[in-house]
Chains A and B, each alone.
Chain A
Amino acid sequence: MDKTSRRQALRLGAALGGSLGAAAQEPRSLGRPLSAYGERSRFVKPVRATRVTKTPEAGSSSTPLADTFGIVTPSALHYERHHAGVPDIDPATHRLTIHGLVERPLVLTMDEIRRLPSASRIHFLECGGNSGSEWAAENGPTVQRSYGLASCSDWTGVPLRLLLDEVGLKPGAAWLIAEGADACRMQRSVPIVKALDDAMLAYGQNGEPLRPEQGFPLRLLTPGWEGNVQVKWLRRLDVTDQPYMTRDETSKYSDLMPDGKARIFTLPLEAKSVVTFPSGGHTLAGAGLYEITGLAWSGRGRVERVEVTLDGGRTWVDAKLDEPRLRLAFTRFRMPWRWDGRAAAIASRCTDESGYVQPTRAELIEARGTNSGYHFNGIKLWKISPDGSVTNVHA
C-alpha cells in the first residue's frame, strides 16, 4: 500500500465510524533502547540476605538459593563473607608475591598472571560456617538463611601447581600461607598437597572478572574446601614448613568437641544437599503438580545420588540428577510431585562418589555435640501444612 492509498483507507475507516480501527490491537510503545550494561528485570527481586551488625564490614550475606536455577549462581547473588570489608583494588597496581621456601621468589602483575596457561572450571564455594544455625534448636527459617552461604561459579584462572613449579619448591615446603589485600590482611595456611593438586588462582567468574566481593582481581581457589581458606584479594603466598595457626584457623573455623578438644584444619566439606523448592517461606497454591528441586554438593568429588523423602524420612525415592555431574560443583536434582493437599515433610539426602551419605542432624550431634559451630551438613526437613505453607523443622 503506498502512502496515498493508505491515507485513503484511514479516511475511509474514520468515515465508517472507526470500525476498521476498533478491530485492531492496542498500540504498543517501544521498549528500552540498547544498553551498555544489562540489568535484570524490575520484576525480579531476589537479593542476598544480610544480618545487621555494628561492624557490617565483618559479616556475611547469603544467596537466595530458592530463587536460582541450574547450578551456576549469578555473580551478584554469590554469598559474601568478609572480615574487613571489600577492598577497592586497581588491578594495574595489584601484585602477587610468592616467597619463602622456594628457589626463585616471584612478583607477578595481573597482566603477567593472565599470560600464563589458564583453565575454567565450575566449582561450588561454601562457607565453613554455612548452616551453623542448624546446630541450635532454633534453626534458620528459609533455605537462604540456613543454607545460603554456598554458591557455585564458573571460575577461570591459573593452576596453582604451575606457579609452584615456576618458583621451585625447596625441600621441607609443606604449607602455603595465603594472604589477602583486604584491610585485615586475611591469612590462612594451606597444605601444599592441595596446592599441587587442583588449587587455582582465579581471576574470572562466570565469564567476567571476579566480582570485588569474590576477591577481585585475584583469589585462591581450593575446590571443595571451606570458603575461608580460599583467600580473596590474594597478594602473597609464603611457602613454609609449618602452618601459622592464624586466627581464622584456630579461634574460628575449628570444631569444638564435647570433650573440649577442637578439630583443626577440617577443610574438605562433606556431602550436603537441600531442597530449595518447596522450602521455608514458600506457600503452595493448592493441591496439584509441583517440581521438587534442590542442590547437592560434596567436597569429596561428584554427587552420585540424591534421594527425596515426602514422609519425614520413613521412605526415600531417587531424584533425577541433571547432567553433567561435575566434581566439586553443585548438582541440581529434580522430582515431579503431585501434592494431595495433606501435610508432608520433605527432605533430601545425597551420597557422593566416596560412598559417604549425608547424615541427619541427630547423627551429626551424636558424633560432635552441639558446640562445634561449623561444618554442618545435615539433612534439612521442610514441613508442608495443609494450607500450603512451608516451614522449617529439624530432621
Chain B
Amino acid sequence: MSTRSFVALAACAILQAQTKYGVGRPPSEAEIRALGATVAPSGAGLPEGSGTAAAGRELFARKCARCHGEKAGGDIGPALVGGQGTLATAKPIRTVGSFWPHATSVWNYVNRAMPFDKPGSLTHAEVYAAVALILHWNGIVSENQVLDAKTLPAVRMPNRDGFIPDPRPDVKRPGAPGK
C-alpha cells in the first residue's frame, strides 16, 4: 500500500469514528442484542431455537387459551384462526391465518407482545412452538413441521400477496383538482 493511500484510509477511519456533535457513544454488539430480537420478513434477526405445533399445545393451553380461546377462536383476545376466503366478502374475518402476509411477523409479535399480561416471558423455543401451533390450526403447517430461523421465513402465508401500495388520493371529485 502506498503511503498516500494509507494516509487517505486513516483519514477515512478517523472521519468514520467522528460525529459532528460528539454526543452519545457506540453500543457494543452485546448491548444491541440485549435490546431483544427484531425480525425481518427475510428471517433476518430470528434467533436460534425451534418448535412444532405438537410442542405448542400444552403451552397454548397454559398461557394463551385463557384469552384467545381453547382453539384460538377468540375471547378477550382476538381470534387467531379462521377467516380464509372471507377477505373479499361483506364480512371479512382478519386473522393470522387469513390476513397476515408473513409468518415472521407472527413470531416477531408474539415474542415481543404476548402473553398480553406478561410479554417477554416466553423462551424463543416457546415462541416458535406457539407460532407453529397457530399456523397449524390455520392449516398452514403440519403438526410436526419444525419451525426455526431457516424454515419459518420459508412458510408461505395464504395472504402473502394480499397487500398493495397506497394509491391515494383515491376520491375524485368534480371540480376538485385532485393530487
Contact = CB atoms under 8 A, between A and B. Distances in A.
Nearest to A112: B23
A265 interface: yes
A266 to B, nearest CB: 4
A112 to B, nearest CB: 4
Given A262-B164, A357-B173, A246 B109 contact: yes
A338 interface: no
B92 interface: yes
A256 B94 contact: yes
Interface string B107-134: 0110011001001100000000000000
B41 A242 contact: yes
| Interface SS, B side | loop
A184 B119 contact: yes
B151 interface: no
A84 interface: yes
Given A183-B119, A185-B119, A247-B109, A104 B164 contact: no
A250 B96 CA distance: 10
Contacts of B17: 104
Given A58-B116, A106-B26, A250-B163, A356 B178 contact: yes
Nearest to A165: B20
B48 interface: no
Interface in B124-166: 162-166
A236 B113 contact: no
Nearest to A244: B40
Lowest 8 A-B CB distances belong to which pairs?
A: A260-B88, A355-B177, A184-B113, A260-B87, A185-B112, A247-B109, A108-B24, A106-B24
22 contacts: A84-B113, A99-B32, A103-B16, A107-B27, A116-B21, A166-B20, A177-B38, A183-B119, A185-B113, A235-B35, A240-B40, A242-B41, A244-B38, A244-B39, A250-B99, A256-B87, A261-B162, A261-B163, A264-B165, A267-B166, A270-B169, A356-B176
